[in-house]
């Protein structure tokens, strides 16, 4: 009877140790991933350096950020769709993407692409409605 209690105690300890090790590994893995995303949200890099490759990109009326990220990834302008969606979410141009055709480059950062698609990166910026009211 005593040997059985010792055996169950050892098994219980082993299971707890394995559980703690697995939890520590998962915490380490997801902490690194969270840090990587956090770092790259605000320290954006282009897909390529130099002049890059020019790509004509079209945003259709009603395209969501998910759709835009999927399409940008498909033509090689971004490398990580989830990261792009987070960069768009935390940018000053969040939700301001406009339908149209844009000349983008692999040398542009995601922020520059988002600015271009929101109209802020174009030479002929449109004024916002209602800014001159109540003057």
Q: Which residues pair with 105 in a beta bridge?
A: 54
Tens digit of pLDDT for each residue in 10-37?
999 999 999 999 999 999 999 999 999 8
In angstroms, the CA 90 to CA 80 distance is 16
Nearest-angstrom CA–CA distance, 116 and 58: 12
Region for residue 94 given its phi and psi (left: phi exceeds 0; alpha: psi -120 to 50; beta: otherwise):
beta
* pLDDT tens profile 81-113: 999 999 999 989 998 999 999 999 999 999 999
Confidence (pLDDT) at 131: 42
**Residue 84 and residue 72 in contact, taking contact as beta carbons nearer than 8 Å:** yes
The pTM (predicted TM-score) of the whole model is 0.70
Structure tokens at 117: 């698609």
Whole-number pLDDT of residue 37: 87
Whole-number average pLDDT of the chain: 85
Percentage, residues of the chain above pLDDT 70: 88
């Amino acid at each position: 009877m005593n040997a059985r209690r010792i055996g169950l105690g050892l098994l219980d300890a082993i299971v707890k140790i394995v559980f703690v090790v697995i939890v520590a590994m998962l915490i380490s893995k997801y902490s690194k991933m969270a840090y990587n995303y956090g770092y790259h949200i605000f320290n954006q890099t282009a897909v390529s350096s130099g002049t890059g490759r020019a790509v004509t990109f079209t945003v259709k009326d009603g395209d969501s950020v998910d759709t835009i990220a999927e399409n940008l990834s498909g033509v090689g302008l971004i490398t990580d769709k989830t990261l792009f969606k987070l960069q768009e979410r935390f940018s000053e141009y969040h939700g301001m993407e406009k339908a149209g055709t844009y000349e983008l480059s692999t040398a542009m950062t995601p922020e520059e692409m988002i600015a271009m698609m929101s109209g802020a990166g174009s030479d002929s910026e449109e004024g916002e409605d209602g800014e001159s009211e109540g003057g």
